[in-house]
Structure formats: C-alpha cells, structure tokens
Structure 1
C-alpha cells in the first residue's frame, strides 16, 4: 500500500510516520502531485497556524490538488480544520470540503485545550471509528462546529466535532498517532478503507 503524507511545512510528521511504522506501513512525505494522486491513502497532517499553512498550500498548488483527490484522505488536527469552510485563526478561508466553520474557544476555559477527551460516535455503524472510541489526545485552540458531516463529538466548554466525514474525506481534531492503541486502531481502520463512491451519506466506517 502506498501512503502519501502531504508535505506543506506543517509539523508533527515524524510521529505520524512512527505510528504507521508500528502498524507495519511506510508513509512517504511528499508534495509531488503525481505521488499524491497515485497513493492508495493520503494523510493531511498539521500542527501550526492556519493562515500561514494555507499560504504554503497555495504556493505549492496543493490547495487546488487536495479537493480533487478521490482516494481516502485523512486530515489530522490543523489538516482537518483546513478542510472546513473557514477558520477564525488568521481569518482563513479553508478548502471547503466540510461544510462547517472553525472557531476559537472562549476565554472561559484554558486555551489551548490539551489532554485526553472521550469521543462519542454520532452513528454507531461508523466503521472508521469502530473499536476506536474512547479517549483521544487533543492539542488545539480552535474547533470545528458540529454539522451534518460530524461523525464523532467530544466536549470542552461546548460539544464540537471530534471527527468529520464527507465521501472519501475524513478528518479528526485529535491526534490518533499520539493516542495509544485506540488511536492506532483508528489509523488501521482508515488504512483498511476501500475507495468510496461520492454520495451524500457517510459510509459505514468504525465498530
């Protein structure tokens, strides 16, 4: 299996590669369009600031490439947020895959939100999260509002999207690569996904 990890200058790449290695896979860090297009699975990671990350995507043309991908794509943390319509961080327009906006936690709580949170599936039939529900590790100051593409939620001051899915695009706010065996199970579920046909309803993903 060919796994492409999109390289656009966002951090936390090594921990993703190590997590894939533990599962018996190799992830290729690349910004080459042909390598990304030919991959069986694509991971869109991200640790950093949204506006500067989007600028890097535009400079490399990846902002136009990513929405055209037809194989399973997994956005992690900032990667997921950049797949949304808009984020308050840097007043940044996203790629518009997920029909929701990303907003900042209020000062009523400690920001960034950092630590382990229990995630709850919106649909018990979701294969992507199957056997991967439980406590996941979060580090973030902004969150995606709940929408019709939300497949898992968690709570910090308010309920928000812990995971999103639309057709072949998946996104998680937490870091599965830092979430122990439960996170590894979710990554394995993603790697087990078959290409999906575009339709308005989520595929049956996690158990």
Structure 2
C-alpha cells in the first residue's frame, strides 16, 4: 500500500505542474498563484488525511461533537472560498466551463457539509467543549477586528477597492482560523 501512495504522489506533482503551465494567466497575476497554492495545499491535506486514516485502521472509529464541528466548518470554509474564487476569476472562453467546474465543486462541498451536519452524534456537549468553543470564537473575533483595523489603515493611505470575492475569501480564512484556534484550545486542555 505504501508503494501505491508513493507513486500516487509522484504522479500528482507532474500533473499539478502541467496544469500550472497550461492554465492561461489571469488579469491579476496573483489570482493564479493563490488558486494553485490553495489547491495544492488542500490536495496535500487530503492525501495526508487519507494516509493517516488508513494507517489507523486498527483503532476504533469515533465520531464526536468535535469531529462534527471540524467537518462542518472546514467544508463550509471551502465552499465559501470556492464561491469567492468563482466571483473573482475572469470568465473563460466557453463561459459554461468555469461555471461547470466551480459549480460541481461547490455542489460536492455542500453535500459533504450536509453529510456532517445530519450525521448523528451520541456525545453530549460538556463545559469544556463550550468553553473551548467560546475561546475560539472570541479569539477569531479579535483577529477579525484587528484585520479590519489594518485594512482601514491601509485604505487610508492607499486607494483600495474591496470586491465581493475578496470578502468571501477573507470569511473562509476566518472560519479556518476559528477551527485552528478551537484545535489549539482542545489540545491544550
């Protein structure tokens, strides 16, 4: 099995490089770089999670409130990010191509979100769960306020137009930061 994983990774990297080379440049050059960086990061994360899940087959599978929260928020963040990329990227030469790929990706993400949202959990929330949830929410709120203050200072000195896609990408990143803060508070205890 490890041999297959190794070849899968070696096949994945040239495909991503070929996709990078064949993708035409966009109006803003940073869009292509950002989209590929996030795509490679998400695919690498999925490869890592799948390999970790297969190595822990002997352990009992457990699905609690924390796992449900992680699943719902991560798929929500990816769906919001996809919608932000959908808005911010320029139209393709056949106009339906962009809508087909991003729409089908968004549909799959919404289905995954609904799977985690509707999955039954036997665990009841305790004080520690609510306390960590509140800490993560407060820390994320502080991060949002600080980033908006920095944005207002930047716009004071430089003319800057904030577009809808940028706001959606910012929202998705804040949801991911909420997950990271919740993970930190959960592990710290």
TM-score normalized with structure 2 length: 0.23
Higher helix share: 2
- Higher RCO (C-alpha under 8 Å, 6+ residues apart): 2
Could you say which structure has the larger radius of gyration?
A: 2
Which is richer in strand?
A: 1
Q: TM-score, normalised by structure 1?
A: 0.22
